[in-house]
Structure 1
């Protein structure tokens, strides 16, 4: 029994194990902690360098994320090597695991490829207002796997890069100027020349309207009781909405001041009260 429970033998084995693997474990932990600190420092330094070199704002978070992931993978391999694991076998296992994970995460890989494609082709940049995948908002960030939009009412939308890179994207900011179009329906009894001149005066009075391309006022619809005049002018993109709202308000006030009549639909009563039925109003076209 004394041979089976030889304390000195077990103590020597445990001591040897601690001396060999305990030291490796301590070194591995130290390597991990120091490595994480170095990675964070490198990320900060790289980001500051990108800011100093005026790298595209859209690229900064993407490159920072890619660098962080790559460095952490290398750190994990280094820590495992410190534990004495045979790297050839480990790399073989890692390759097999990577294949399995790749098959399981095809969607994520597609999103990663979509992010690379977006940053390469650049259909939009951070700060652009876009519509895509049925959503609209200002591009706040382009990450590895998704693009973040901020809506005008401050909602945050995350769109996967894969579908986004393969869909139609409408960019409202990429051009310096935009065309504003107004459609004013007035009664056919108005003097069309007077209405046109009134709208022309409103356009000329606003210095936000560009002269090239020249503004246009055209009749786009003519019906029995109304006609529609379309006003098409060009403004700087940052003036679009302010001008749109102001023009609508000033046009209404000018129409009222100058006695411009709006089209009023005429209705004809059919049926009669004599038969006990409620008369029906039918709009005249």
Structure 2
């Protein structure tokens, strides 16, 4: 009798809540697919607009996250929960999570700051926190560098915004200092003229600004 009663109650509950759970699952599934599609559409649209690769990666990941959040809210709403209560709960949870994950929130804020200030772009060669490498990705929370010896270094965005960044690619012209030892008994004037001539005749040396040879 108890088994029959349990079965009856189960079927009654399933007939009432089963469709809602199914609807919520469908909403989540569609939301995840839409988030991927919109991410690709956003990436292609920004690429056609010749936007920086860092901006493309950052904005596309933000759009994907926003669509997923909306899908979760819609799924909870389909279960019969009040939308205002859901939004309020998300706000309360978000506040608590923001306190617990303040470092991650700082990384997101750092990513937004770099998005607007643009201290470097994808493909630039930079140095920060005693690490040098080529910028491969600028994402919502992290920036990835590829070092000269092919190591992948992942920087939290907040670390980058708080550190001194040297961008070796920002300027198309750079000065290169070369030092040569000259004995006191050698002809200093002749050595200067020879080095000046070699520099001026080198096709890789710019004529403006002109190369300079000094003796110290």
Does residue 64 (structure 1) correspond to residue 60 (structure 2)? The answer is: yes
1:102-148 deviations in Å (ceiling 9; x for gaps): 00111111111111111111111111111111211111111111111
1:21 Cα offset (Å): 0.4
- Residue 36 of structure 2 aligns with which residue? 40
Q: How many residues align?
A: 216
- Residue 281 of structure 1 aligns with which residue? none
Alignment of 1:192-271 (within 5 A): 192-220=188-216
Higher relative contact order (CA 8 A, sep 6+): 2
CA contact (8 A) 2:146 2:152 kept: yes
- Of the two, which has the highest radius of gyration? 1
> TM (normalized to structure 1)?
0.72
Query: Could you list the runs of 5+ residues in structure 2 that have no partner in the other structure?
Result: none
Give me the CA root mean square deviation.
1.6
Deviates more, 1:87-96 or 1:42-51: 87-96
> TM (normalized to structure 2)?
0.94
Does residue 107 (structure 1) correspond to residue 103 (structure 2)? The answer is: yes
Query: Could you list the runs of 5+ residues in structure 1 that have no partner in the other structure?
Result: 221-285
1:199 Cα offset (Å): 0.8
SS state of the match for residue 42, structure 2?
A: helix
Q: After the TM superposition, list the runs of 4 or more consecutive aligned residues in structure 1 that deviate by more than 3 angstroms.
A: 9-13
| C-alpha distance 11-150 of structure 1, shift in aligned 2 (>3 A) | closer
Tell me which of 5, 28, 31 is aligned to 2:27: 31
Q: 1 or 2, which has the higher helix percentage?
A: 2
Paired with 1:117 and 1:36, the residues of 2 have a C-alpha distance of: 28
1:201 Cα offset (Å): 2.3
1:16 Cα offset (Å): 2.5
Tell me which of 87, 91, 96 is aligned to 1:95: 91
Paired with 1:156 and 1:118, the residues of 2 have a C-alpha distance of: 20
